Structures are given as C-alpha cells and as structure tokens.
Amino acid sequence: MLKTHTCGELRPEHTGQAVTLAGWVHTQRNQGGLIFIDLRDRWGLTQITIDQAATPAVHEAASDVRNEYVIQVQGIVHPRPAGMVNANLPTGAIEVQATALTVLNPARVPPFYINRDEKVDEALRMKYRYMDLRRQHMQRNIVLRHRVIKYIRDYLDAQGFVEIETPILFKTTPEGARDYLVPSRVHPGKFYALPQSPQQLKQLLMVAGYERYFQIARCFRDEDQRGDRQPEFTQLDMEMSFVEREDVLNLVEDLMTGIVEEVSDRQLLTRPFPRLLQRDAMEKYGSDKPDMRYDLAWADISAVATRSSFGVFQSAVKDGGKVKALRVPGGAAGLNNSQLRKLVEELEALAKENGAKGLSWLALAGEAGGEVRGTMAKFFPEELQAELFGLLGTEAGDLVLFLAGPAQALYPVQDALRRNLAERLELTDPAQIAFAWIIDFPLFEWNEDEHRWDPSHHLFTSPMPEDIPLLDTDPGQARGQQYDLCCNGYEIAGGSIRIHQREIQEKIFGLIGLDVEVARERFGHMLEAFEYGTPPHGGIAPGIDRLVMLLAGEPNIREVIAFPKTQQAADLMAGAPSEAEPGQLHDLHIRVVEKQ
C-alpha cells in the first residue's frame, strides 16, 4: 500500500509514529516558512505541516502543489499546538509534520470547487461526474447507499432469502412503460427487451421452489422523462411463496425500520406504519402517497355545507360531488388582513392550477371568541359555524379552506394545497421519516382513451378472492391484493399477492384487452408454468434510489446514483446515447431512417 493510514484515522494516541498518507490536496495554505496542506481521502482530512527550516526540500515541493493534486506524504504525527485544535474534525487534534512529499499525479484546475459544498451547475457536474463524486457530500451519499444495500443483504439472508440474478436480455415485462429493445445479431429482425422489472422471473422462481428470493435489480423503463425518474433504476426485488399480504407487509416493515434506525441518522416517526385504505387516502389527502410527517387531513363536510346559504356548495352536492374542508392549525395566526388575503390568493391560484373552480376560506381570530374572517363567514350562520368548527376541531388562529366539486376532481387540488401548506408551515423536516402502507387498491383503472381496463399495479396482481366474481360483472369494483409503501410523500414500494392460476390470469389478460393469441405469444411461458404446481406467492419491490434519497435528505435521486442520466436520458460524461458504427448496424440488420 502507498499509505499506512487513511486521512480520517490518526488521533493523539498515534503521536510520535512515522506514517505515510496518500490522497488529494484539499487545500494548500502557504504561510511563508510554513505550508499547511489538508490532505483528503474517502475517510477524511488530515492536516500536513511542512516547515521550511526543518525540511527545505519538502517545503519546496509542497509550495508547487495545487488543489486536487494526488500526493504521498511521509511524516511524524504530532499533537497540534494548543489553540490550533479543530474540534470539528475527527483528526483535528493532530497534524503530520512532513519529512517527504511525492507528487503522484498533478491535476488541472477543477471545473468547480471540490472542497466547498456549494451549488454547481448540474450539467457541469454530470460532465465531470468523477470530480463531482469526489465531493464530500456525494461520497457520503454513495457510502450510505452501500450501507443500505449491505443491511438489506444481511437482513434478508438471515431471513432465509436467496439472492438470484435474472437476465437483462429478456422478453417484455410490462410495468406500464415502453421497453428498451436490444436487436439480436444472431436472429435478424428479432429483439430482446430489457426488463422493466424481474416480475415474471421472480414468479417463475417461486414456481421453481425457491420460496424466498431477492435481488438488487436494475430495471429499465423508457418513459418520457417527467419528474425525477431515471431510465434505469435499482429496486430491491423480492418474492415469497406461501404468504399472505400480512407476511409481506410485516417483513418489509421490519426491514425498513432497521434501515432507518440502524443505517441512517434519520428519525422514524411512524411505528407501526399506519395502514390506509387507498380510497380513504384519496379522500383525506387527495393522494395515495401522502406525506405522513404531518397531519393536515381533509374532512368531508358535505352534510354541514349544504345547510349553509352558499349556492355553490349546495349544487356541488346535488350534482353528486362533495364539499371538503381542511383545517390548517395556526394557518391564520399572526396575519393581518392583507397578509391573510395574499396567502389565500396564492392558495387559490394553486388550487386553480390544479383544476379547482375556486377556493373559499374562513380564518379564526388569534384569540378565542374573536372575529371570524373569510369568504364563507356570511354564508355560515353562527350556529352552523360552531357545528363546523366542532367537526373540524378548530382552534383560535386556524385557517379553514373549502373545496367543492366532483370527488375525483378534488384530489389533485387537495394534494397540492396540502403539500404547499406543509412547506409554508415548515412541517417537512427531511430529518424525519414517515412510512405508511396503502392497501385495497382497485384492481383496474378505466382507460378512457383506449376504452379498456388498465391494471392499477400490473398484469399479475391477484384480485381479492371475494371479488373474483366481480371480474365478470363489474370489474371496476374489484379490489386487487396490491399494497404500496409510501414515505415522506413518495411511493417507495409497490407489490401484490399474485395470480397463480391459469384461468384467472387469462381472464385478466382478456379484461385489459390483450388478444388471446398475443397473450399466449408474450406470456405463454407464465401461463404454462401455472399448470405445473405453482405455490401461492406474493412480493414487493422497494425502490433503492428513492429510499436512499430520503435517508440522505437529498431532493432528487441523481444525488444518490453514481452515474445518473439527465432528464433527457443522456449521459453527459461519456456522451451516451451515441451513433453506432455503420458496421455494427449492418451486423444487426438495422438501418437508421432519417425522420422526415
């Protein structure tokens, strides 16, 4: 080894030892007779001092080094002089007085500061990702990711799971996105599809009798890059045989709790994880991935609202819609009239962006019994106000927001307002982690454009046993044995108990409009496998990128992936995707046709 210790290792008890360190020059300060170098490696920083009087040749070499040079230093560990101790640095009580210094490799001036945690243009970071990854906060994230994965492997191994790799070159596995195709050279005109998930293969592993499978699996989905997604991402793919929903939920809950409490420095707020029916989550939060770090739940106040004199509320309910109210604790506290009006105007603009016709409100004065302000005050006589406030549990200083309309149309507005208010009220502390299970999803969603049912989860999700007759009579009412895990407002896992009988699987193919022939061509192997002794089974797949993002307190998953792609699915460092050589295309029987 070119070093005897890491740059994070030396302490006062090493005093007097001759050591060799190697790493990157984090900073160099030349104070004339003395040069200080902070030497950095993945483990930390160590201060090197070079004294011109004692070691003139070393001093000369040190005066030429620049930031990010790779150097090797030999020296003796000394306690730092009194008053020079840096309590913020684990190695801050010592320094290494250099006796030799070798430049192993110089460095050009970096495209951005490596030694400062400041915001850098993202395209530049991506182009020089290897430099970006050198920065301390990125190293922290990447190491955290490693620890999470290591914890997962150890935990599942102890639970009797086997890690099994499944192919990347395979056949279409639909998860609602487009496939990435790989042309076959050996079979002209034929293509492999990269897996959108190992879904079929893990089910086939259950048929094969492995009973408990997992894989840190790469998944590929060619989606329009909306939001914070990556064309390839990593999930913890799991499947278990002879299980019921409870078994999967309990195991994953225990695993997630361990990860948060033993690997991260985050605080776990919800234990046990609350379980919400999907329908209730939509009604209360307008979302099936609600952020549970804060409450802010919408209440259905249709019954009270129709007794107000506000015509909009009455007609909304008459047309089959709902009136919903959100109590914002302390939302009006300390605001004067114009501040309150400005707040409500901003909230109303947000509501309208999300499809609402308008937003009504009431604000309770800061002291009990004070004046009630807001657009709704005159429509709710005092007694009805009291009833409403009793229902919502309001207190002095609260703001109450109202929405009216068809239930479905209100969901996105409820969700947007809730998230926005949580930001304003600073209820979203990234140091806190709050999980919740969402259960009892409808099996299908109606696809208006294509005029057919789409699976809410995927093709292989089993209906609730008692809802199987509904597949023939009223598929829209059938519930699936699907469950999602949400965390801090993100869906971080989805899974289900699967279909393990051929007839039901074929029926689902039919309902989603898959032609029998096409279904057999694409999934014949699955249907056939179901005839050779398939155990009941189920599984789930938590997204590793998203989980680590939340544990690291980062705003997007690119911060926890070593070499991510941009929103346009490009790698700016290597320049991928790129054109292929004509010879390669020829071998693959492919011709590129210019778009007209």
Taking the complex as a whole, the smallest distance from the CB of residue 234 to ligand ASP amounts, in Å, to 11
Could you write out the DSSP letters of every residue in 74-109?
Answer: EEEEEEPPTT---TTSTTTTEEEEEEEEEEEE--PP
| Amino acid at position 29, single letter | R
- C-alpha separations of 441 from 18, 129, 196, 436, 473 in Å: 65, 41, 21, 14, 18
Nearer to ligand ASP among residue 496 and residue 534 (C-beta)? 496
Categorise residue 397: left if φ over 0, alpha if ψ from -120 to 50, beta otherwise.
left
Rounded to a whole number of angstroms, the minimum distance from the CB of residue 540 to ligand ASP is: 5
Contact 99, 75 (CB under 8 A): yes
Taking the C-alpha atoms of residue 322 and residue 306, their distance in angstroms, rounded to an integer, is 10
Bridge-partner residues for 23, per DSSP? 71
Among residues 95 and 175, whose Cβ is nearest to ligand ASP?
175
The helix-helix angle for 278-285 and 407-424 (nearest 10°) equals 60
Q: Which residues bind ligand ASP (CB under 6 A)?
A: 175, 197, 199, 458, 494-496, 539-541
Whether omega for the bond prior to residue 577 falls within 30 degrees of 0, making it cis, is: yes
Helix/strand/coil for 352: helix
Give least dist CB 207 to ligand ASP, A: 16
Question: Minimum distance from CB of 166 to ligand ASP (Å)?
Answer: 12
Tokens of 439: 């259960």
- Residue 190 tokens read as 């034929």
Query: Shortest approach of ligand ASP to residue 447 CB, angstroms?
Result: 19
Which residue, 198 or 475, is less far from ligand ASP as judged by CB? 198
Block residue for tokens 């007209």: 596
* Min dist. Cβ of residue 197 to ligand ASP (A): 3
Q: Which is nearer to ligand ASP, 28 or 197 (CB)?
A: 197
Question: Does residue 127 sit in helix, strand or coil?
Answer: helix
Q: Are 286 and 413 in contact (CB under 8 A)?
A: yes
Contact 3, 42 (CB under 8 A): no
Nearest-approach distance from CB 188 to ligand ASP, in angstroms: 31
Q: Which is nearer to ligand ASP, 162 or 576 (CB)?
A: 162
Ranges assigned E (strand) in 315-451: 322-328, 360-364, 372-373, 399-405, 432-433, 435-439, 444-447
What minimum distance in Å lies between the beta carbon of 553 and ligand ASP?
25
Tokens in use for 564? 């991510």
Could you write out the three-class secondary structure of 257-302?
HHHHHHHCCCEECCCCCCEEEHHHHHHHHCCCCCCCCCCCCEEECH
What minimum distance in Å lies between the beta carbon of 173 and ligand ASP?
Answer: 8
Tell me the angle at which helices 516-529 and 502-511 cross, rounded to the nearest 10 degrees: 150
Sign of the four-CA dihedral 377, 381, 385, 388: negative
Nearest distance in Å: CB 496, ligand ASP: 5
Q: How far is the CB of 458 from ligand ASP (least distance, A)?
A: 6
- CA–CA gap between residue 332 and residue 317 (Å, rounded): 28
Output 266 or 458, the one with its CB closest to ligand ASP.
458
In the bound complex, what is the minimum distance in angstroms from residue 543's beta carbon to ligand ASP? 8
